[in-house]
Chains A and B, each alone.
Chain A
Amino acid sequence: MASALPSGDMGAAEANSGNGGQMQKKPFTFNEIVLRNRLTALVVDGDNFCRLLEQGILQAYGLETQSVNNGDAAVELIASGAKFDLILIDMLLPILDGVEATRRIRAMGMRCKMLGVTACSGERERQAFLAAGVDVFVEKPLGPEILIPVLRELDGQV
């Protein structure tokens, strides 16, 4: 993916030379995974910015996405028959929170991969979200180290 900005490579190299080489991680690119199958995702986040960003990231990986801004809308969408391979759901949501929305989505028989992507970081929140039915609890931001293995699994590349 071409970029008009200084490349991640240059940034990493520059950072290495600037701080004694502490940033040793491989520069990230969206080409690290190429999907063979059509995958769909639902993003559930009450914050416009986070919703847009997460959709953008998933689309960059090649997924088709939809988004809603509250838990009730997510449950309604699933109840209407919509199917997704992946759901990203925040914990604190308007109208119906992410924990209860997850519980209801699972209760409707939806077995897709669900990632609880939230700014909450406590162990109690983590346990509650996992108990409700998310497969992975992710403290924002959602990074490639979490997402790429999930996408590989969904795409049958594992």
Chain B
Amino acid sequence: MDRNRLQHQVACMRRSLFDQGYLDEPFIQLEELQDDANPNFVQEIVTLFYTDSARLIQNIEHALNSRPIDFDKLDDYMHQFKGSSSSIGAKKVTNECTVFREYCSAENAEGCIRSFQQVKQEYAILRRKLEVYLQMVRQAAVSRTA
């Protein structure tokens, strides 16, 4: 693919991630941490986010399936997930985490289960979009050095 077209597509995709509310300013801060000394920083940090998120999602699912539900433990896990999501700029995921914590605080099990589905959905959407975006970024980087 023509280099300029690819870079234009990367820029458009990046813009849409922000315009559609999937990403927020903290992601820009991450991008600024990437330089020649750390050329893969964003990919590395995003990969770490995926690993961290997978662990937390599994923990939350296990906690939601336990009887009785330990809402304190649930809140701890979601607190961590909200923290890492907000730190990477995952705006929609962070918002859904906040909703979940409100149900958790009210010890509303059904609300927690419903909102957790939303958390997982938003996370899955973001992950798909980020994977495509970062793959395009890598392709654009390769085409620049070719």
Contacts and interface: CB of A to CB of B under 8 A. Distances in A.
A121 B83 CA distance: 11
Interface stretch (A11-19, A34-42, A106-114): A11-19
B137 A141 contact: no
A121 B144 CA distance: 43
Nearest to A1: B35
A144 B29 contact: yes
B114 to A, nearest CB: 21
B39 interface: yes
B74 to A, nearest CB: 13
A46 interface: yes
Interface in B107-146: 137, 141, 144
Nearest to A4: B141
Interface in B75-94: 76, 79-80, 82-84, 86-89
A144 B29 CA distance: 8
Contacts of A118: 83
Interface string A1-45: 111111010110011001100010101111000000000000001
A4 B12 contact: no
B25 A28 contact: yes
Contacts of B12: 14
Contacts of B19: 15, 18-19
B87 A49 contact: yes
A11 B87 contact: no
B76 A28 contact: no
Contacts of B79: 92, 119-120
16 contacts: A1-B33, A2-B36, A5-B137, A6-B7, A15-B15, A27-B28, A47-B52, A49-B45, A52-B48, A53-B30, A57-B33, A60-B32, A92-B76, A118-B83, A119-B79, A143-B29
Sorted nearest first, the 5 A-B pairs with minimum C-beta distance are A119-B83, A14-B15, A49-B52, A119-B82, A141-B26
Interface of B: 7, 10-12, 14-16, 18-19, 25-26, 28-36, 39, 41-42, 45, 48-49, 52, 76, 79-80, 82-84, 86-89, 97-98, 137, 141, 144
